[in-house]
Chain A
Amino acid sequence: MLVLVVALAVYVVPGSRVGAQGAQKALRYAEDLAPRIVNPLFTTTMSEIRMNELIFDSLFRENYELQMVPSLVQDYVFKKGGTTMDLTLRSDIVWQDGAPLTAKDVVFTIHAYTNKRTLSPNARQVSFIKTATATGERSVHLVFLKPQDYPERKLDFQILPAHKFRSGSYVKRNDPFKNRPIGTGPFVLTHFGDDNSITLERNEHYPKPISIPGIVMKEIPDKSQQANLLKYESLDLVVKVLPKDVAALEENRKIELYPYQTNSWWYLGFNLRNPVLKDKRVRRAIACSIDIEELLKPIGTGDILSGPYVKSSPYYNHDPDVKPAHLDLPRAEQLLTEAGFTRGAEYWERGGKPLQLKLSVPRNQDSAREVVLNLQTQLAKAGIKLEPSWENDASWKKKIWHDRAFDMVLAVWTFDAKEDIYEQFHSKGAKNFVSYRNPEVDRLLQEGLQTIDPQKRKEIYRSVHRILNEDIPYIFLWTLDSYSAISTRVQNVTIHPFAYFSFIEDWVLK
């Protein structure tokens, strides 16, 4: 009844255009979860990385060809293989509060990251720098711990204004800076809304003219609503549309889909501490029981991978001779028989126990549900019982990383431009929860980090690829073609594969 009355009122009263027009001046985009903190020192989530990209800038950054080019730096002196670097900052850069950018800011930022009490989760980004000193108003002298090949690549951390922090290089999470962040980037944060939205305005001090007058980040946790609101023009941009919505959005003339090649890949990981999975033959048999193409089909399109790098990476498909295990049920049978299993009525058995594995999956992983259901059916047909266990995001690290209470995982790794797989596969790596241990891989990964010759590095990762394929700690699955959906009001769009908004200064809003 009441609904009817309200409905009638709304239909009868002609729509006012005021509110809608005011909002349309800005580019409105949605995040599942708003940034938890706007301070690059404490950034951990992708929504924070995207927000930082709008507000802050770094010494070097990637151009359209994804080459590192000077950004805040005017020019620099560095000899390949050297341990020192001299930077001169640009003179035309001012902070969003009007203060000029100085060498002090760069030195402060490096010290803030490395300060032990700051406890920055990103301290590792600057750990290659031994000392940083301001040698002039706008010149910085950097000394590295080890000889560097291409330090520009690593000087991509965002620079903070020293004059906004009174307490020296020890920065606390509750520093008032988080509520009034100041950067040198293309947009100025003007307002945190009660509805967790963040409003930004174009930075008038920015050395380049920017077309988009403002940006509004809205928090919309219900993903299926994001695509709807895009259709209704209440949003202009959805960072990553669900694969199932792609077809419906493709037909919409007001929306353009942009392929958004994230540097991320899906994998099935084995717990190598598990007595059954310790046996390489069992792992290979599982790999031979899976039809990866069939798993991928219902969730979208993508590249099926044989190793830990995506197509755009210089290390992709390193060794064309590596033949990953593929669907081959007779081979799986043979391997399981060799491993001492006998085929029971339904499942393979050994010592009276069926071959039964628990597959842990992060509950909020998009499209994981369909993959798991298919995988379960595929393996059931091959006589392997798979029991999915859907884990909360909050307990994932505790259960999987720390307690290692799983048999298999289905998950996704996302990498930044450095594509460093050390943490995943080195026996001491922080993310090596599958407990993979191969001295040869340890040595190669160590060497890969230190080698400055790009050609030699490719060789090293080629060997890693070959060994990983032999040892199968993971079954590499695919990198998914993901799409960003952006209103056609926005033109000249280029999306950075990791930080997303890196090229927003060239976007045009009609």
Chain B
Amino acid sequence: MWNVLTLLRRPKAAFGVAVLLALTLIRIYDAVWPYDPVADVDMARIFAPLSLEHPLGTDQVGRDTLLRILHGTEAFYFPGLAACALAAIGGIVGGGLSGFYGGVFAGTFRYVTALITAFPRFILILLVCSIVEGGMYLIAALTGLVYLPQVAETVYRKVLYFRSTEFIEAAKVHGLSDGRVLFYHILWYNCLPPILKHLLYLFGYVILIETSLSYLGGFGVQEPDPSWGNMLAQAREYILQGQYVFAIAPATAILITILGLVSLGDAINEWGAR
């Protein structure tokens, strides 16, 4: 029923899909020809100028910036997907069930999401990451967790809306099970675009959170592994020496990626609201 082709005809969507596709291709490329951040250190070529060999130059210990940008996708690609999965499953199941059945479950779920929303998120991430060592997956999971209430809220409101109409009664008269009504008829047919929009934004938000954490004293992805965030955060230390490419490269990567995700979300939303 969701005609994907009509979606792709929108330029915003095409751009977003292209970005996602590019990220995926980079991941495949990186998995086939893995990058070794340790072997890439070369003190003889610190801040090498742009050249064919190093199209984006090198960093303060002679590592190739382009290779690090490409490998930097590893930092958020799967963790970002994991965050989306967490927010989607938690949000859809929690929001859907509490909208559909209400009662004690809805109350408890609402309480948990209220706790998550109220807790200052950077402090949550800082403290939890100090207690448990989990690297980027933990950061992403926590980001997904703080985003979960928004997904749940969207689903919850949709389900409530349908409950107020005769839609569900009509479906039940036709002998459909609760699960089928909730997950297939309500969520799949009517909630997909807003949920997708949330998840695309969340995916980008994982990158942004990692960047912020890297900036705030290096709490993001840890060296020697690259991430766009830690590259950008390190680059600011070299601005006084005029090493601009070093900063521009990861910044551009972040910008294009998130812009792609947001545009796709926007397009899906418009398309879903037709």
Cα A248 to Cα B239 in complex, Å, equals 10
Give 1 or 0 for each of B237-257: 1 = CB within 8 Å of chain A CB: 111110000000000000000
Instruction: Considering the complex, give the chain B residue whose CB is closest to the CB of A371.
Output: B61
A390-B60 contact given A228-B240, A247-B241, A380-B38, CB 8 Å threshold: no
Q: How far is the CB of A224 from chain B (nearest CB, A)?
A: 5
Cα A30 to Cα B57 in complex, Å, equals 33
Residues of B within 8 A of A23 (CB): none
A224→B60 contact, CB < 8 A: no
A297-B43 contact given A373-B61, A376-B224, A390-B223, CB 8 Å threshold: yes
A390→B43 contact, CB < 8 A: no
A224→B240 contact, CB < 8 A: yes
Checking A248, A297, A370 against B240 with a beta-carbon cut-off of 8 angstroms, the contacting residue is: A248
Give 1 or 0 for each of A369-404: 1 = CB within 8 Å of chain B CB: 110111011001000000010101011000000000
Q: How far is the CB of A88 from chain B (nearest CB, A)?
A: 50
Instruction: Considering the complex, give the chain B residue whose CB is closest to the CB of A297.
Output: B43
Q: Within 8 Å of chain A (Cβ to Cβ): is B39?
A: yes
Checking A224, A245, A363, A380 against B236 with a beta-carbon cut-off of 8 angstroms, the contacting residue is: A224
Most buried by A among B39, B46, B239, B240: B240
How many A-B Cβ pairs are below 8 Å? 59
Residues of A within 8 A of B223 (CB): 369, 372-373, 388, 390
A373-B41 contact given A363-B217, A388-B222, A390-B222, CB 8 Å threshold: yes
Cα A351 to Cα B46 in complex, Å, equals 39
A390→B240 contact, CB < 8 A: no
Instruction: Considering the complex, give the chain A residue whose CB is closest to the CB of B126.
Output: A392
Instruction: Considering the complex, give the chain A residue whose CB is closest to the CB of B223.
Output: A369
Residues of A within 8 A of B224 (CB): 373, 376, 388
Q: Within 8 Å of chain B (Cβ to Cβ): is A357?
A: no
Residues of B within 8 A of A244 (CB): 60, 237-238, 240-241
Give 1 or 0 for each of A346-375: 1 = CB within 8 Å of chain B CB: 000000000000000001100001101110
Q: How far is the CB of B246 from chain A (nearest CB, A)?
A: 12
Cα A227 to Cα B240 in complex, Å, equals 8
Instruction: Considering the complex, give the chain A residue whose CB is closest to the CB of B240.
Output: A248
Q: How far is the CB of B179 from chain A (nearest CB, A)?
A: 46
Most buried by B among A223, A369, A394: A369
Cα A104 to Cα B156 in complex, Å, equals 73
Residues of A within 8 A of B241 (CB): 244-245, 247-248
A370→B61 contact, CB < 8 A: yes
Q: How far is the CB of B152 from chain A (nearest CB, A)?
A: 32
Size of the chain A interface, CB-CB below 8 angstroms: 28
Cα A247 to Cα B60 in complex, Å, equals 15
Q: Which of B39-73 contact A (CB under 8 A)?
A: 39, 41, 43, 46, 60-61
Checking A294, A364, A376, A377 against B217 with a beta-carbon cut-off of 8 angstroms, the contacting residue is: A364
Instruction: Considering the complex, give the chain B residue whose CB is closest to the CB of A392.
Output: B130
Cα A380 to Cα B240 in complex, Å, equals 32
Most buried by A among B43, B60, B238: B43
Cα A364 to Cα B237 in complex, Å, equals 13
A298→B236 contact, CB < 8 A: no
Q: Within 8 Å of chain B (Cβ to Cβ): is A322?
A: no
Residues of B within 8 A of A223 (CB): 237
Residues of A within 8 A of B46 (CB): 298
Give 1 or 0 for each of A219-248: 1 = CB within 8 Å of chain B CB: 000011001100100000000001011011
B43→A374 contact, CB < 8 A: yes
A377→B38 contact, CB < 8 A: yes
A376-B41 contact given A224-B239, A370-B61, A395-B130, CB 8 Å threshold: yes
Q: Within 8 Å of chain A (Cβ to Cβ): is B218?
A: yes
Q: How far is the CB of B148 from chain A (nearest CB, A)?
A: 27
Residues of B within 8 A of A372 (CB): 223
B240→A294 contact, CB < 8 A: no
26 A-B pairs whose Cβ atoms sit less than 8 Å apart in the complex: A223-B237, A224-B236, A224-B239, A224-B240, A231-B240, A242-B237, A245-B241, A294-B43, A298-B46, A298-B60, A363-B218, A364-B217, A369-B223, A369-B234, A370-B60, A370-B61, A372-B223, A373-B41, A373-B223, A374-B61, A377-B38, A380-B38, A388-B222, A388-B223, A388-B224, A390-B223
4 new A-B contacts, CB < 8 A, other than A223-B237, A244-B241, A245-B240, are A244-B60, A363-B217, A376-B38, A377-B39
Closest 6 CB pairs of A and B: A377-B41, A224-B237, A373-B61, A248-B240, A380-B38, A363-B218
